[in-house]
Structure 1
Amino acid sequence: MAQMDDLPPLREVIATHELRAKKSLGQNFLLDLNLTAKIARAAGDLSGCDVLEVGPGPGGLTRGLLAEGARRVLAVEKDSRCLPALAEIAAAYPERLEVINGDALEVDVSAHLTPPIRVVANLPYNVGTELLVRWLTPAEWPPAWDSLTLMFQKEVAERIVAQPGSKAYGRLAILAQWRCEARIVMTLPPEAFNPPPKIHSAVVHLNKLDAPRFPADAAVLSRVVAAAFNQRRKMLRASLKGQAPDIEDRIRAAGLEPTLRAEQVSIEGFCALAREIAR
């Protein structure tokens, strides 16, 4: 692939600004601009969209998003060492990149983004799952964003798309798939990063659904799923006994057997159970 812009290669950017990745910030920089462009394309048509990026680091994915036609990119970066490198990208793409120096868990970005909004990020490993859960559990649904295209450790990505009956199936799969179409679109080896992590990574693309797949109160569903999977080796009648005094009757009323374990229950089954417990 030809150079996507007139900016220097990422290795040169990292050397110039002395951007050694910090383990404490969960940083692993993706250096191959072919890969960052591929991730940007996996997010779909970005023209006419604002894109939220968390943890841009030296800006490889940021450049891919802008080159692929994003209307605007809002990049939230906690590490102030990266700001000069991101400023160079902003100068190369006038009026299209805004950088906020802050913690993505604390910054309210709503005032900085105009729909349609897509979230695309090589998430820092130490906050990736928490950010995903926040995006999947807004106060109101549908959310402000249209899609999430996010890089995680491969193990986490597999948990997001897992099906009932598998060891990876759990709370994260239910939260994601209840309200979204979720699929893994890329896997990346450790050597694609600097420094190389000890594990493979994967990119998950989630398209929001206008309404959840099955009716349920979100807070009750979250509580029931958490209780069931916190003791996933136990049968439902034991793991959920704190949810209602007549829990076995309610499990049966939801069309389930009290002897099932959490990993055997579909999303539809959990939603039916949440409705029975909420009665």
Structure 2
Amino acid sequence: MSGIDDLPPLRDVIAKHGLSARKSLGQNFLLDLNLTAKIARQAGALEDCDVLEIGPGPGGLTRGLLASGARKVLALEKDARCLPALAEIAAAYPGRLEVLEADALELDPLQHLTPPIKIVANLPYNVGTELLIRWLTPDTWPPVWSSLTLMFQREVAERIVAAPGSKAYGRLAILAQWRAEARIVLSLPPGAFTPPPKVSSAVVHLSALPEMRFPADPRVLSDVVARAFNQRRKMLRASLKGLGPWVEDALLSAGIQPTERAEQVSLEAFCALAREVEARR
């Protein structure tokens, strides 16, 4: 007995199917089913939701999601070696698990999901940030997902929830906090994984806001923030001079001193600056 269902322990599953973790795929397997169930619970009530999972591997978190009552789990797995193990889980939960052999960066999963949709994943380290940015920057808002419950390297998690004035504060914090409520809900040491990564991990829960906190054009805001933090040691009048000769006036109109640096500027002030930039273009 595994503790959450009648399927074998994950170590037995990995041994049976020869599933050694591959560094090239960013794989670090979480084998403690108590932990995977705990992560699943951080996503809240799942009974009326479809859940998208990226990189399920041998299926520890998948099992946690299904045992927690998810209406349906759509699991995208790039590693074909994992498919037989996931098929065994699908057989144990008839009609509730769909597995697609696919690259999450290349497949649009929406045709396989019915709202409300939650995304829950122990993301492969090599694609986690890119996927998060895509989910935070859709063409329309609110997004198709109601919440994201995602595991990252601890350093990335801290960048998502960082406040102005901290070294971790940057583009990722602004993109996340502009449109979502973000918080770290769980921390995991390297020893929780097989093989152990060199860094600690953390689970971040992001709840989509019905609309952005402050008005701004998404593309203009993204451009301004990227320029500001690409040269974060420079004063803003220098890092943003490529916007136009009026950049100092725009900064002052937004309530920002041109001598400030990007990490000192609040989300609200960046949004005000984006509006000033848009008005001058």
Q: After TM superposition, which residue ranges in structure 1, 4 or more long, deviate above 3 angstroms? A: none
Alpha-carbon distance, 1:7 to partner: 0.5
Q: Which residue of 1 aligns with 2:185?
A: 185
Q: Does 1:213 align with 2:213?
A: yes
Counterpart mapping for 1:199-278 below 5 A: 199-278=199-278
Partner Cα distance (1:5, 1:164) in 2: 44
Counterpart mapping for 1:77-116 below 5 A: 77-116=77-116
Partner Cα distance (1:45, 1:269) in 2: 35
Partner Cα distance (1:245, 1:11) in 2: 62
Partner Cα distance (1:169, 1:74) in 2: 33
Residue pair 2:2, 2:33 contacting (<8 A) in 1 also: no
Partner Cα distance (2:189, 2:195) in 1: 12
Alpha-carbon distance, 1:125 to partner: 0.2
Partner Cα distance (1:60, 1:73) in 2: 13
Partner Cα distance (1:123, 1:250) in 2: 39
Alpha-carbon distance, 1:4 to partner: 1.0
Partner Cα distance (1:116, 1:245) in 2: 46
The farther-off stretch of 238-247 and 223-232 is 238-247
Q: Does 1:40 align with 2:44?
A: no
The one-letter code sitting in structure 2 at the alignment partner of 1:183 is: R
Q: Which residue of 2 aligns with 1:122?
A: 122
Q: Which residue of 2 aligns with 1:63?
A: 63
The one-letter code sitting in structure 2 at the alignment partner of 1:68 is: S
What's the RMSD between the two structures over aligned residues?
0.8
Partner Cα distance (2:39, 2:269) in 1: 34
Q: Which residue of 1 aligns with 2:163?
A: 163
Partner Cα distance (1:2, 1:13) in 2: 11
TM-score by length of 1: 0.99
Partner Cα distance (1:6, 1:40) in 2: 18
Counterpart mapping for 1:144-155 below 5 A: 144-155=144-155
Structure 1 unmatched runs, 5+ = none
The one-letter code sitting in structure 2 at the alignment partner of 1:220 is: V
Partner Cα distance (1:272, 1:209) in 2: 19
Alpha-carbon distance, 1:255 to partner: 0.9
Aligned pair count reads 279
Alpha-carbon distance, 1:244 to partner: 1.8
Alpha-carbon distance, 1:3 to partner: 1.4
The one-letter code sitting in structure 2 at the alignment partner of 1:247 is: V
Alpha-carbon distance, 1:245 to partner: 1.4
Partner Cα distance (1:250, 1:132) in 2: 30
Q: Which residue of 2 aligns with 1:197?
A: 197
